Homo-oligomer: A and B are copies of this chain.
Amino acid sequence: MNIHELIAELREPAVSKIVLLVADGLGGLPLEPGGKTELETARTPNLDRCAKDGVCGLSIPVLPGITPGSGPGHLGLFGYDPLQYRIGRGILEALGINFHVTSKDVAVRGNFCTLDANGKITDRRAGRPATDRCIAMVQKMRLIRIPGVEIFVEPVKEHRFVIVFRGEDLGDAVNDTDPQATGVPPLPASGHDAASKKTADFVNQFFVQASNVLKSDAPTNGVTLRGFARYPKIGTMQEVYGLKAAALAIYPMYKGLARLVGMDVLDAGSTLNDQVATLKKVWGQYDFFFMHYKYTDSTGEDGNFPAKVDMIEKLDAVIPNILELKPDVFIVTGDHSTPSKMQSHSFHPVPTLLRAEHCRTDAVTEFSESACLHGGLGQFQAMHLMLLAMAHAGRLGKYGA
């Protein structure tokens, strides 16, 4: 029996409220051996108090040693096995620009490239055009019409764009047309099954028309596509947990991930204070609140240790405003670690705290990597966090008699 079947069997209605605060890339590393991590360096009296009143542990996003992207990182926290539910690149790119993907869509990431007179690629990124040029080229491609399919072309940044093919029974088992090399033409698309052959046929027609509308626009006179992906079949939070869930995120990618699992994506403004204000406003209308905080990740990606410390302290400052609402279960965690030292996502387990009436408190009195290591939640798989949230919220009945 998988976990979602188990939850479907055990879940019970309750009036309790759960807040899941995700500080993106929260976990870190000391810059020097024996030093302190960003979280250990930050002054976080409010998080420390929650750690003391609650139970702590370290979340393993996927498996030991596996560094997740934002997609698997968040799916795990939402209780969806990130090894079972895979979100293809095309869909993630579409989510990242806030495109509303539907169950009829196949999305794919596109790159502008430069083609020579023989149609061979001379630059796989078309000389990294400015985003304005990307937008202009996308406008031209929006004129393309193919009978039997709806096509959406959306700019991303520089040479990157997204195409969404919307139609009946479109498969995504289609090869990348990007040959990952210069001196050769883009590859034709071919499908591995009937539904994907249908997609590939539309893709090849699109390619012919795109080559035509872009032909005098060198260096952005060609396109390659990769990461064909259907919208994944995934139960909503309402279906899986019986939770009416709201997302309070600012960045499109996280709104998209929340929408993927059926959360209501609210307009949460553009600052942490806006998010908290929105939380207060809609408090009565939902059971579950996902709050996303980006800057612990982006400062880590920048390799800016002091900035990450500062962003953690800014997050700490709003905790009392959340607690004022008296959530029955309050969780603070991250979707993965982003140590400034590595300037990238990493595989290290993520500090996590859970505060609820019936949590079995431990000796942890500060929220940090080293303290969480001795916490009562131990080291656990991120995808089990929602089981703990549901249990502490009084929303899971007994398994077996």
Contacts and interface: CB of A to CB of B under 8 A. Distances in A.
Interface string A1-20: 10100100010000000000
A67 B369 contact: no
Contacts of A384: 63-65
B400 A82 contact: yes
A136 interface: no
A360 B376 contact: no
Given A89-B401, A391-B66, A401-B89, A370 B379 contact: no
Interface residues of A, number: 67
A328 to B, nearest CB: 14
A370 B364 CA distance: 11
B362 A341 contact: no
A384 to B, nearest CB: 4
A396 B65 contact: yes
A330 interface: no
A334 B259 CA distance: 41
A1 to B, nearest CB: 5
B83 A6 contact: yes
Interface in A236-287: none
Contacts of A34: 361
Contacts of A380: 64
B83 A1 contact: yes
Interface stretch (A150-158, A193-201, A294-302, A345-353): A345-353
Contacts of A345: 398
B358 A396 contact: no
A378 interface: yes
A72 interface: yes
Contact of A401 (B33, B66, B71): B71
A10 B388 CA distance: 30
Contacts of A360: 29, 37, 348-349, 369
Interface of A: 1, 3, 6, 10, 29-30, 33-34, 37, 53, 58, 62-73, 82-84, 86-87, 89, 92-93, 339, 341-342, 344-349, 358, 360-363, 369-370, 373-374, 376-380, 384, 387-392, 396-401
Given A65-B387, A67-B399, A87-B400, 18 more contacts: A62-B399, A64-B388, A64-B391, A65-B384, A65-B391, A66-B391, A66-B396, A69-B401, A70-B401, A82-B399, A82-B400, A341-B358, A348-B360, A360-B369, A373-B378, A374-B374, A378-B378, A378-B379
